[in-house]
Each structure stands twice: as structure tokens, then as C-alpha cells.
Amino acid sequence: MIPTIRRYVAPLRAGLDTPDLPPKPPSVRDVRRWITSDPDHLTNDDKDQLAAILDRSRHGRANLDLLRTMILYN
């Protein structure tokens, strides 16, 4: 852990800017809400983030379609 801290602090000591951190991933609660919500009620940003998550899995889109079909018929 100490080497990790040293690598992070080294640019600060040299007077450089801190390295940019990657964006925080969406929470499980947000993803669940996007999946179970009516797609027409999602913002464009929510739709983009959901699409990015579904594209990571080859079965993601099919599972989403199946789940939404089940929700509609219940």
C-alpha cells in the first residue's frame, strides 16, 4: 500500500497536478432502476450509461429485453 501512496504523492511533491481519477461506476441501485424503468422515462445520460453496461456482456441486451417483456405481461 505504501508504494501506491508514494506513486500518487510523487507528482504532488514535484508541483504537478494530481492524476485524473476514472469516473465512479454507477451504483447497483441505479442500474436496477434503469433496467426496470420505462425506457421513455430515462434521461439520455441514463440511456447511454445503461447501453455501455449492456455492451460489456454478449447476453446483456437479450436479458434486458426478456426482463422488460416479463414486466409488461405481469
Domain count, the chain: 1
In a domain, 1, yes or no: no
For 55, the domain range is: 22-73
pLDDT mean over 48-71: 88
Look at residue 72 and tell me whether its pLDDT is greater than 80: no
In a domain, 47, yes or no: yes
The predicted pLDDT at position 5 comes to: 84
Under 8 Å between Cβ of 50 and 35: yes
What b/e sequence results for 1-40 when a residue is b if at least 16 CB atoms lie within 10 Å of its CB, and e otherwise?
A: eeeeeeeeeeeeeeeeeeeeeeeeebeeeebeebbeeeee
What does the pLDDT look like over 9-55, one tens digit per residue? 888 888 777 767 888 899 999 999 998 888 899 999 999 999 999 99
In a domain, 37, yes or no: yes
